[in-house]
Chains A and B, each alone.
Chain A
Amino acid sequence: MNTMNMRDEPLVYELSRTGRRGCALPKSDVPEYVLPEDLVREELDLPELDELTVVRHFTRLSQKNFSIDTEFYPLGSCTMKYNPKVNEVAASNPGWKNLHPLVGEEHAQGALELMWRLQEGLREIGGFAAASLQPAAGAHGELSGVLMIRAALRARGDDGRRKMLIPDSAHGTNPASCTMAGFVTQTIPSGPDGNIDMTALRSALDESVAGIMITNPNTLGLFEKNIEEICRLVHEAGGYVYGDGANMNALAGIFRPGRSGIDVMHFNLHKTFSTPHGGGGPGAGMVAANESLAPYLPGPVVVKDGEAYRLAMPPKSIGRVKAFHGNFGILVRAYVYLLMMGADGLRRVAENAVLNANYLKSLVEAVYPVPYKRHCMHEFVAKGTVAEGVHTLDIAKRLIDYGFHPPTIYFPLIVQEALMIEPTETESKETLDLYAEALRKIAAEAASQPELLHEAPHNAPVARLDEVMAARCPVLCYRG
């Protein structure tokens, strides 16, 4: 462990020394221009540093980064899988990288072909009729999808339907997307098996239902076994089914959501399709739809016209949701991933994601109670109730000392003291064994030395943060 990184790094302003310079500006080769007096300042509060100090400062900061390239990162429902370097090699090709988004279609045929192939590939994987690469994030895809549902309801003169059903095991972004689109949400409880309570669903289906937003597998990591019946019931009630595709890593190449009756769904390229996730991504949340909603897709989308590719608006499109053509560099990476994997490879990804999650679950469930006794899909939820007076937060902080990123905690809300763990397929058995060992050791410490957990982390650049104080009295300026 590099203990150099454990020390506090001063701010660049604190490293500043008056008069120090990191670069020498060349002599001006343009005529001098006298600035208006009211724009001239006597003092300018910029740090003054030499080049080496700057390089060391930012290099040290970069080494404090916790990333998939350095450590295991099993953040539940986030699919923090390895981002293959070949994606970066392809995306850094000047032909992609330097292409201006306003270049005419005739000079961007390669880029349009790539987008078309990605569109078609993901449409095929999802079992849908058409797709749009516009949305730039998962929740952006959700918003696009529910706006499509709203537009379709409006087109058939059914604008009064405002109720969107959301299972209590859904992602937290779902209700937010509905609210933004003008819908009112109603929560549908889960039954004892962790799936949607079908009786509660049936009783919620009335003439005010616009649709349901369903995540499959849900945030408990469990497959919704009744998905086909759920879709049928919602359709019979006159509603649409939105599929949250955030957990597609469990299904790709095995189960086509579009074939089960889901009308519109987003894919997270930054989860399932190995593009960078976290630190701003940027993300990509492309959306796909079946025949009934395809005309409403955001646009433009790429269409193939004989041998040529061109951009076109779907006939009843909800319009643009993003400037230009989505996050194009990310689309290149996702397409490379699809090519590298192929159909068989993608199926093995899902199989191994599920296998890894079940293996890890089997290693820890004797110590960390798992509330639903079923095989899980790509992730599982356990409870941090290992010792009196110790909470899941303490376990999560202690994991940092062992060099691991904590899992998602306190989510889903329906499991108290939840630890939501998603190892992904890219981790080796050895890594999973080490993680399970750390979790078991921490459970033993919780019983014998609880203060070790309460005060964790001990080996990080900053100790336990006072989250309550930070939330109640935030200090947003370093000078106080």
Chain B
Amino acid sequence: MDITVNILLTIATAATPLLIAAIGELVVERSGVLNLGVEGMMIMGAVGGFGAGYLTGSPWIGLLAAIIVGALFSLLFAVMTLSLATNQVATGLSLTLLGLGLSGMIGTTFVGQPGVRLPNLDIPGISSIPVVGKLIFGQDPVFYISIALTAAVMWFLFRTRTGLTLRSIGDSHTSAHALGIKVIRYRYLAVIFGGACAGLAGGHLSLVYTPQWVENMSAGRGWIALALVVFASWRPWRVLAGAYIFGAVWIGQLHAQAFGIPVPSQFLSSLPYLATIVVLVLISRNKRLTMMNTPASLGQPFVPDR
């Protein structure tokens, strides 16, 4: 029984950073901007979070720093692509490369240092209830943030006027501009929100998942988050499903390898990617729905004519 609970807990821990980064990127892409710099913003968040936590001794300050660093780093992308109308793909890729290099440089002094870890939520009496107590009430704080964030983004996008405006910009920035909507301002805010989310996801890695600093510790999670958004056809609840499928198969294959199942380990390692893609392809077979949710102006630079 305990093993099952532990496995479920580790799945949640593995899925949380993917979910947060992907939800942030979903909002960015819904506004019509493609930011391929998720990996870079995430690793910057990780190193910033670790550094602030290490220096102050407070994991909470570390988490806050991770968010701020991610947001500031995305601001660089926003200025380039929105104000200067550079190519979003090229700018996003260079953001990732810059983030990986810069974080490695900043982090040289942190390598091998003991980090601080965010404590798990612990409500006396309730958290000790078997299974349910631990699963629902005994996880790390970022887990709760990730679930609340997903719900909030769903509500924002589909229930509020501001969310409708954001979606309309993603559908057609020229139409939105013609109606007098401030396209660039909305996109700035969306990109910064995405950066803050990626930073938070990075902070989760270096303050919860493995509370230490290792170069390249994001290990491609930013790319997985990006893929999740596309395969989830830009719908928040599918991002949630995708992140947890990935987390489950990831943990599952680790256990399978530990038990020595006679399957090549390379195949097992690739399973999470394959499984996530297969499941999300299956649930996005409805072309019409996919079409409706795909931001039509995704990746196109917008220069208002004045």
Please say whether chains A and B are actual partners in one complex.
Answer: no
By a beta-carbon cutoff of 8 Å, the part of chain A in contact with chain B is: none
